[in-house]
Structure formats: structure tokens, C-alpha cells
Structure 1
Amino acid sequence: MSGTEQGPHLLLVEDDSELSTSLVLYLESEGYEVTLAENGTDAEEEATRLPGYDLIILDAKLPDQNGFEVLRQAREDGVRTPVLMLTGLGDHEHKMRGFQVGTDDYLTKPFETEELLARIDALLRREAQVEEEGGVFNVGGLQVDLDNEEVVRNGDPVQLTDLEYKLLAYLLRRRGRTATREQILRDVWDLPSAVETRTIDRHVNALRDVMDGNSEDEWAIQSVYGIGYKLEGADRVEETATEAV
């Protein structure tokens, strides 16, 4: 990674001060931005903070509660951030428990920093593939074709501006996850997050006008008050094999 660019923001949850110090220094030297939490209470607060982290490295054994409980609560609170769990517990039962509560990968202590970095890179690459996700989805009475950038309703084309479509595709690819205003400004409008604008709201309302629903509990694009928006209720249209002639 380039030392002049801000890399992905990682949340490291580790109570061993010697290990956490060495990991923070190592990851920062590799270009990552790292925030450290040393107990479960702080970890829960940080994990749900918005804008969210790109990845969470979570120790399974914490002084006030275990990492499994922290992760379970975070997932219940809607946190979809990829999680790499660190633990000295290497048996199958504990690994299965981690996956059951929503971890994405598992690394048993002691480990080599090179392996940790490889696991982080793999998880971030997988998450980045969301940016290029294609396919056809039904949502809010619309059928959205991400591959061909087409939107139809009842078979008829829906006319959207370029920014309206970009916003719809952005929220669709992050379906079920909150997108903050700062993230939308950065990723859709290509504006600094410090810019304040109501343009996002106007574009969301324009999309709601062509979708099903007449109130907040009916709209596919839901407001997360004071934070941003998230899209719910999207279903992927499964491709059907064409019959040979």
C-alpha cells in the first residue's frame, strides 16, 4: 500500500497490550488505519459506530465478556462488517461457535503476522467484490439489472437520472446495511464527506416515487435517522437455463 494514501480502517479488539501494540504498529506500517478497543464494551460501541469499519479483528477472550458475545450482539444490531476472529482456542467446537455467531474467518494464536495480513487482504478483497456485484434484483416493485444498468417496472423502462441510478445500485449492492451520508457523498457523489447537502434526500425521494410504498414502513429505501439510508427487501432473480432448440 502507498504510504501517502489512507488505507482501509480496521478495528482491532485485543486486551493483551503487548500484542495489540505490536499489531497496531505492524498494520499501520502496511498502510492500514487502526483503531484499538481493549474490552467488550468498547468493542460493541466501536463496532456499531458509523461510518463503519472496513474490517474488525476480534479477540475471542476479553476481560469483561467474550468476543463471541460481542460479535453476536453486533450482528443483531445490523453490523455486516467482515470479522476476523483471533483466539487461543483452536478446537473445532469454538471455531464452529465463532462461525455460528457470524465470524468470517478464524485465526488461532500464536500466528505469523504475514498470515494475519493475508487473511485481512482476502476478506477485504471479498468485500470489495460487492462493488462489482451484478445480477438482476426485484425491489420495491422495480426490476433492477445491475449488469446492463437497466430498471423496469411491469416490463416498462423506468427513467432515472445517472445519479438516481448510481444511488439505487449503490444501496442495492449494500442491501440490508446502513449507508451513511458521508459514505454516499464520497462513493456516489464523489464529494468530501464534510460537505453538507440535502441532495441525497431529494434523490432518495425521487427513487421512492417510482417504487412501491407510501410511508416509511413500506418503502424499500428506509431512513436511518441522523445517519443515512439502507435498502431492504431485495430479492435476486435467479437465472433460468434456456432450453436447447
Structure 2
Amino acid sequence: MKVLLTEDDPNLGMLLQEYLNAKGYETDLARNGEEGIKFFIENGNYDMCICDVMMPKKDGFSLAKEIRMKDKEVPIIFLTAKSMKEDTIQGFKVGADDYITKPFSMEELLMRMKAIFRRMHKQEAETQANTFQLGGYTFDAQTNTLTHNGNQSKLTTKESELLKLLCQNKNQSVSRSFALKLIWGDDSYFNARSMDVYITKLRKHLKDDTSIQIMNMHGEGFKLIV
């Protein structure tokens, strides 16, 4: 993990840099806001930015705004001696992920950093869990889209839910009853007929890649074979 630390207090800056380096975070220390944005532009690829608010040449809020112009996603934590509510609100408005008031313990800073990284990794995992590669198709269950050779098809909610279930159990049989209860709410005859219609629709969506099949498993249900 690579961290940009911008802190104008030389003693605190050095202590934090040494502490974070010791904890496995490669940390660059900038002494003011102008130096901070210079580091960010020239070195780039930071996993987190820790910015003091009150700094010469460029304050932390201005620095955060410029960082956000270049990178919308990198987490930003503000360090400040200010504790006024208005400053906290301003910090979040310019894109902060967290806000720590001095004095603070280094352990607290580390725990807050880890909490932000956990949230990010959870979001990444959720995104990955909703994206599936099926032969030449890319299926995004979050946006209900199926892409093949640059052409994107929009699926209905039911089509997307059914295809996601099949993708999660790729090359394995999926019980009709389980699919009906999960997606339709019950396994009545009419819902079963409805599901058959959606299976037919999914086969049409996937027809351009012959390596993909949705097979009827007699007495069991369906199997997506890739």
C-alpha cells in the first residue's frame, strides 16, 4: 500500500511517516499542500492520502479538491486541530473519507485506515461478484447488461436474476424449485411456466456463442454449460 502524507509539522510528519512505514505502508511525506499535489501528480498510484488541513501555501481542503480532479476514488483522511462542525462538513464536501482531530493516537489512525480499506475491498468484491465472463459474453448483474463483441443488451430484472443464479452455479445443475422460490417467491405451476419462458429468452440472448448452453436436466432443473 502506498500512502501520501501531507503534514507541515515536521516532528509529527516524521513520526507518522516512520510509523506507517513500519506498519508496511510505503509513505511519502510532503511538507505543504503545494508539495502534496506535486507528489500526487508526479508519483501517482497512491492507495490513500492523509492531509493536514491547516498548511502553508495550500490548505488541505484545496489539496483534496485538486486530488479529486485527478482521482475520484483514492481515499482521503483529514488531520486537523480544528474540531468545528463546519470544518468537518467542509471536509466531507470536498471528498474526505474520514476526519481525525488532533491530538490522536497513531493506532487510531491505523485502525481508521484499515476500516476504509476494508470498505473498499468489500465494494470491489461485490463488483467482482456481480460480473461474469461467459465465453465471449460479459454479464454484469449489477446493471443487468450482457455484452458481446461490443454490443450491449439490456436484460429484464427476472432475466438478470435467473442468469446470475445460473452463473453462480456454472456447469452445475440448478433445481427448478429452488430457482422458483428464490426469484419468483414460490414454485407454483404458473411461475414454473413463466420461468421456462425466461430460460428461452436467455438462450436467445446467448445464441451467438455456441460454447454456451442452458440445458434442461430432466427431473432436476437447468444447467448452464460453458
Residues paired across the two proteins, number: 156
Distance 1:14 1:209 in 2: 49
Distance 1:135 1:28 in 2: 30
- The aligned residue for residue 111 of structure 2 is 118
SS of 2:34's equivalent? helix
Alignment partner of 1:86 is 2:79: yes
Alignment map for 1:147-166 (pairs within 5 Å): 149-150=132-133, 159=136
Distance 1:243 1:129 in 2: 28
Residue identity matched to 1:39: N
Distance 1:242 1:21 in 2: 56
The runs of at least 4 consecutive aligned structure 1 residues that moved more than 3 Å come to: 48-51, 237-245
- The aligned residue for residue 150 of structure 2 is 211
Runs of 5+ unmatched residues, structure 1: 1-7, 137-144, 152-157, 174-207, 214-236
SS of 2:117's equivalent? helix
Distance 1:212 1:41 in 2: 45
Cα deviation code 1:120-141 (max 9, x no counterpart) = 11112222224312378xxxxx
Change in Cα spacing, 1:39 to 1:209, as seen in structure 2 (3 Å) is farther
Cα deviation code 1:40-82 (max 9, x no counterpart) = 1121122334641111111111111211011112212234210
SS of 1:90's equivalent? coil
Identity value in percent: 31
Alignment map for 1:20-31 (pairs within 5 Å): 20-31=13-24
Question: TM-score, with normalisation over the residues of structure 2?
Answer: 0.59
Distance 1:134 1:77 in 2: 23
Cα deviation code 1:94-132 (max 9, x no counterpart) = 000000000000000010111111111111222222431
Question: TM-score, with normalisation over the residues of structure 1?
Answer: 0.55
For the pair shown, the structure with the greater C-alpha radius of gyration is 2
- The aligned residue for residue 47 of structure 2 is 54
Question: Of the two structures, which has the highest relative contact order with CA contacts closer than 8 Å and spacing of 6 or more?
Answer: 1
Residue identity matched to 1:28: N
